[in-house]
Amino acid sequence: MHGGKKGCYKEPTIRDAEAEPAMARDFEDHCWKDIVDADTIAIYQAYRRQTYVGDNPAVLAIDLYNKAYLGGNRPVREVDREFAGSCGEHAWKALPPTQSLFAAARRARVPVIYTTRHVDTGGVQSTNRAMGRQRDDVYDIKAELAPRPDELVIYKERASGFFGTPLIAHLQQQRINSLIICGESTSGCVRASTVDAFSYGFHNVVVEECTYDRSMLSHKVNLFDLHHKYADVMHIEDVLAHLDGLAVERKVA
């Protein structure tokens, strides 16, 4: 969905492609274009389609906890020496657009749902990474992105926000039909959550500028995979435009 408000609010199965503005970015105009070769793009042309924010969405904010920001706005290679698991500069770069995303969602009365984890999970980990002793607040949501008191926080032990959690029940009870996904890491919990969301039948948007990873290669290839198979990877300005339109629409209604 590239700027065309009208299309955004339509039933996903019957879409009006002509209504879209002529200048919309290409389906492949994303961060992966400098590493994916022309042959691969050709092979993947069967996935080309109009992208859009789905009907009755919620924002799903994956693992935006302090640990990802430790060591500050510096290269991952530097912060990693002291703070294993930090995403360094990639995390900090995504902070302002993620704040904008949450603000727009709240104006549009779109629920913002967070995931994080407990510090102690009895030996069940989300990946194979060795983890030493950690500060008590590492899995608190970063203050600049903190949930409001009435917003849902899902505690998980595995990569996917759906595995071993009641997330699907909350989404079903709130009649959420699509997700706007952001957070970290692209190749870990964001990918696993998005694949599960697709399996459960949701239309998914992953916001490119609001996801990040420690490895740029994994970040780009995972966004490429997600975009073609399980989600519409969209740019933040297009998602914000949609949410602003929805805010107006819901105020009128």
Shortest distance (Å) from residue 251 CB to its own copies: 20
Point out which residues pair with 233 in neighbouring strands.
206
Task: Based on the shown chain and the rule CB under 8 A, indicate whether residue 119 belongs to the binding site for its own copies.
Answer: no
* Number of other residues whose CB lies within 10 A of the CB of residue 24: 15
Buried b (16+ CB within 10 A) or exposed e, 39-68: eeeeebeeeeebbbbbeebbbbbbbbbbbb
CB 240 to its own copies: min, Å = 23
Which CB atom, from 169 or from 253, has the smaller least distance to its own copies?
Answer: 169
184 binds its own copies (CB under 8 A): no
Sequence letter at residue 98: T
State the nearest-atom distance from the C-beta of 87 to its own copies, in Å: 10
d(CA 222, CA 216): 10
**HSE (side-chain half, CA atoms, 13 Å) at 8:** 22
Name which position in 72, 172, 248, 251 contacts its own copies (CB under 8 A): 172
Note whether 149 binds its own copies by CB under 8 A.
no
230 lies in the binding site for its own copies (CB under 8 A): yes
Q: Tell whether residue 182 is a contact of its own copies (CB under 8 A).
A: no
Name which position in 98, 116, 187, 211 contacts its own copies (CB under 8 A).
187
Taking CB under 8 A as the binding criterion, the range among 57-65, 140-148, 149-157, 234-242 that sits at the site for its own copies is 149-157
Active site residue 31: no
Size of the site for its own copies (CB under 8 A): 65
- Which of 8, 87, 182, 189 is catalytic? The answer is 189
Selection from 69, 243, 61 nearest residue 152 by Cα = 61
* 163 near its own copies (CB under 8 A): yes
Owner of token pair 């009006």: 16
Give the whole-angstrom CA distance, residue 226 versus residue 218: 12
179, amino acid identity: L
Interaction of residue 253 with its own copies, rule CB under 8 A: no
Q: Does 99 bind its own copies (CB under 8 A)?
A: no
Asked if 62 interacts with its own copies (CB under 8 A), we say no
d(CA 157, CA 163): 8
Burial of residue 169 (number of CB atoms within 10 Å: 0-12, 13-18, 19+)? exposed
Residue with tokens 């290839």, as numbered in its chain: 221
CA distance 140 to 67: 8
Minimal distance, residue 101 CB to its own copies, in Å: 22
Residues near its own copies (CB under 8 A): 35-37, 39-40, 42-44, 46-47, 49, 76-77, 80, 84-85, 121-124, 127-131, 152, 156-160, 163-173, 175, 177, 187-188, 192, 195-196, 198-202, 214-215, 217-218, 221-222, 224-225, 228-230
Catalytic positions: 189
